[in-house]
Structures are given as C-alpha cells and as structure tokens.
Amino acid sequence: MRMPNSHKPHFLKPLLPDFHSGVSLLIFGFSDLQTIPLGFFSQHIEGKTNRKTWKLRSDATDQTWEVIQEGRRLTGGWKDFTTAHDLQIGDIVIFKHEGDMVFHVTPFGPSCCEIQYTHPHIIKEEADADDVPSFSFDYCFQAEVTASNLKEDKLYLPEGATTCTALNKQCQEIILVNKEGNSWTVSLRFSEADGMYYIRRGWRKFCRANRCAIGDLFVFNVVGDGKTTPLMCVCPEREE
C-alpha cells in the first residue's frame, strides 16, 4: 500500500461489516462515517476551526464533495461520496488533510492496491474479476487481558482460528485495529506443537495504548483474504 505524503496529516479507515447499522464505535458505513480517530481529531480539528463542513476530493473526479461533520462523525454527504466512488466492505480509505478542512481521499481495494477510476463515469479498476480476493469477516472471538499475556507479550488465538480463511501459516504479521480505527502491526505466528495461532511483540503495546486493565475483554473480528496482511478489529459495540 502506498501511503500519502507523510508531511501532511492523515488517517486511515477500513470499511468493515455492519456498515449500515450506525451503532458501531469502530466501523463506518455509507450513511455515516462513525468516528474520526481521537488523536487526529484532537490534534488537527478540535479547536482549530469553527467550520463543520469537510471538502472531500479524490483522483476519481474533479468534483468536490461537501460532507457535514457532527462531533467526531461525518454524516450528511458521506453516503453520496461513497456511492459515487463505489466503496465496498473490504476497501480502505485514507484521508489526507490538505488544510482549511479540505481532504484528499484515496481509496484502496481489498488487495491493498490503490483503486484506479475510469473517467468520466467513475468506474473502479483494481483487478480482474477472477483476481479479486474473497475477504472473510465471519470469525469473531473474545480475548481477555491477563497478567501472563501482558508479561509474555503474547496472546493465543482460539483453536477455532485455524479454520479462519483470513489466516495462513505463512503470514508473519497481523494488524490490530481499535474502536477508534487506530492500528498496530504485530507479529503473528503458528505453534505446531499447540496447533494455535498467537500474536506477540505488540500485544502489550496495544493494551497499554488502549489503557487496558487486567480482566478487560475484547471481542475481535478477523478480517482478510488469506493472502494479504489480515486485520484483527475490535467488534462493534451495540448501543442499548
């Protein structure tokens, strides 16, 4: 994946399942980009401007899309932008702040390649139909923060993870994504002796960054195509 110019502030958002529900604290949908990452919002948006309208631009068209910001959410106008760009579950979107509430948006497909668009009809072109990877979103599991897994900096995934098509024994990394959309790349290994996947060298850092205490629980959803680096995302929290 080619990242945007590092000199300009940017953040990344994956499009994950349940994007129509509007109740997740992590994912975002066609009607509502759920939350702008707190770190980005605090550093570049909050208190910096009184404007509540974002101007979104992309390489797909010369059009500028105006989208309403409500708190840390993008609401009105977001659905029009995603529909025009044919964004789907599995796509990843990078927002690069150009200044003055103008953002250049770069979509990537499930294979982590930048999506190319054919003018003037905004037709997506990333790979031939036969080459488009099939993403798995259907494996969830609960993980507990314990004194031992923090000390060892190691978290074992359940045995059931071996049936998840998003994972394979050759994969050496996995990306942890919290409810804000922030990410941490950690090592992924498979223990032949135990018959289980486990993550290490990054689990403790993830827990500290998210201010976890011993006994805290996460429900993770494993997302991937079995070929590219998988994501392990905190599952949506439902409002009562």
CB 70 within 8 A of CB 95: no
What are the residues facing 67 on neighbouring strands? 54
pLDDT tens column, 26-84: 333 444 455 677 778 888 888 888 888 999 999 888 899 999 888 888 888 888 888 88
Average pLDDT over residues 146-167: 92
Report the Cα 1 to chain-centroid distance in Å.
13
Neighbours of 176 (CB within 10 A): 24
pLDDT greater than 60 at residue 102 = yes
Q: Residue 78: its pLDDT value, please?
A: 84
Q: Which of 45, 161, 59, 75 is nearest to 107 (CA)?
A: 59
Of 116-130, 193-207, 213-227, the least confident: 116-130
Average pLDDT, the chain: 76
The more confident residue out of 13 and 164 is 164
Q: Residue 191: its pLDDT value, please?
A: 93
